Amino acid sequence: MLSKRIKKIKESGIRKFFDLAAENKGSFIDLSIGQPHFPVSAKLKKAAKIAIDSNCNSYTSSAGRPDLRKKIAAKLRAENNISAKPEEIIMTAGVSGALFLAFGACLDPGDEIIVPDPYFVFYKEILTFLGIKIVFLDTYPDFHIDSEKLKKLITPKTKAILLNSPNNPTGAVYTKEELKKIAQIAKKRNLLIISDEIYEKFDYDDKFFSIGSIYKNTLTLNGFSKSQAITGWRLGYAHGPQYIIEAMKKLQQYSFICAPSLVQAALETEMNLSLSEEIKKYKAKRDFVYENLKDKFDLNRPEGAIFAFVKIPKGKKNFSEKLMDNKLLAVPGKVFSKKSNYFRISFAVDDKILKKGVQILRKLAQ
């Protein structure tokens, strides 16, 4: 009774660990899940309660609340140097919702999209589900994009390039010069760039740059799940050429209908909450992980996001199983890549938990 396309995709390797941790609370040192661990702002919680009590519980337009889109357009102009108008923005059910709408609106079965490897798990499975051909761009070992490698992957069937910076799972943040070269390549071939920028605020070395500021044929995707620690509230947005946004809106009318109304209302009043203190703490966690693992493991210093992508030491067989045996949850690298000799850890946890996790990793690397 199942469709052929649903049989092509796998259960999320990340959600398996989420379920395992939930079912065995307190039994594991959990460095597997990619969500901020700081509390939701009291102001934002209050705004959500007010939204419910003010009866913001019905459908909104499929594009989203007008005043919120105005504020996001202003944010994109001020912070990202993107010339944005409210009518070029659609509110979505998280960035995952924006990605689904973008893929569905812009790509046909058989079209090719270039995806840097390693990649966020959602990309591969949903593109496969939709029948779109993925052409992987190997970014090992520094996880940055080599423009010459990129050029060689483009064919007459190439329609888009998918970027994710700051990157999940690697923590790489693409530089302005790197993105300029990508934009030049895309412009020459009239390619669409889909830029997933959900970890924008988690930029520890001030490298973050929005490619949409220099290349108009860009869909910029972002949201509030990470920056406001509201992963369960599901609110994202997309900005891009108006004809693409209109097409995404049409698909949204027959799928998600609209993004969560009460969350839109809450963020409309409390969109600009400061993350500066949390980012300082996460930068310190990043530094702790790197400084305490670099002599035992081959890893790059994460430049952003909340992850380290760590190479398994040579000769260490069944490393993922050994992590589990030592009550440490980390996601195997094969979940994010065609390669399998890495694993991902999240440092978005309490310092005590992080120290215990690092101690276990150091012991296993002996």
Tens digits of residue pLDDT in 249-307: 999 999 999 999 999 999 999 988 888 999 999 999 999 999 999 999 999 999 999 99
Asked whether residue 46 is domain-assigned, the answer is no
Asked whether residue 51 is domain-assigned, the answer is no
Residues 67 and 27 in one domain: no
Confidence of residue 316 (pLDDT cuts 50, 70, 90): confident
Residues 230 and 339 in one domain: no
Boundary residue ending a domain (231, 248, 269): 269
Q: Say whether pLDDT at 187 is over 90.
A: yes
- How many CA atoms are closer than 13 Å to the CA of 328, on its beta-carbon side? 25
Burial pattern 86-95, b for ≥16 Cβ within 10 A else e, equals bebbbbbbbb
Check: CB of residue 288 under 8 Å from CB of residue 358. Answer: yes
Q: pTM for this structure?
A: 0.95
Neighbours of 178 (CB within 10 A): 20
Tokens (6 digits) for 166: 């700051």
Domain harbouring 341, CATH code? 3.90.1150.10
Asked whether residue 47 is domain-assigned, the answer is no
Asked whether residue 49 is domain-assigned, the answer is no
Check: CB of residue 223 under 8 Å from CB of residue 198. Answer: yes
User: What is the average per-residue pLDDT within 2-6?
Assistant: 91
Structural domain range at position 202: 59-269
Residues 82 and 154 in one domain: yes
Determine which helix (DSSP H) or strand (DSSP E) holds 117, and give its type and residue range: strand 112-117
Asked whether residue 17 is domain-assigned, the answer is yes
Domain count, the chain: 2
Is omega for the bond preceding 141 within 30 degrees of 0, making it cis? Answer: yes
Residues 76 and 103 in one domain: yes
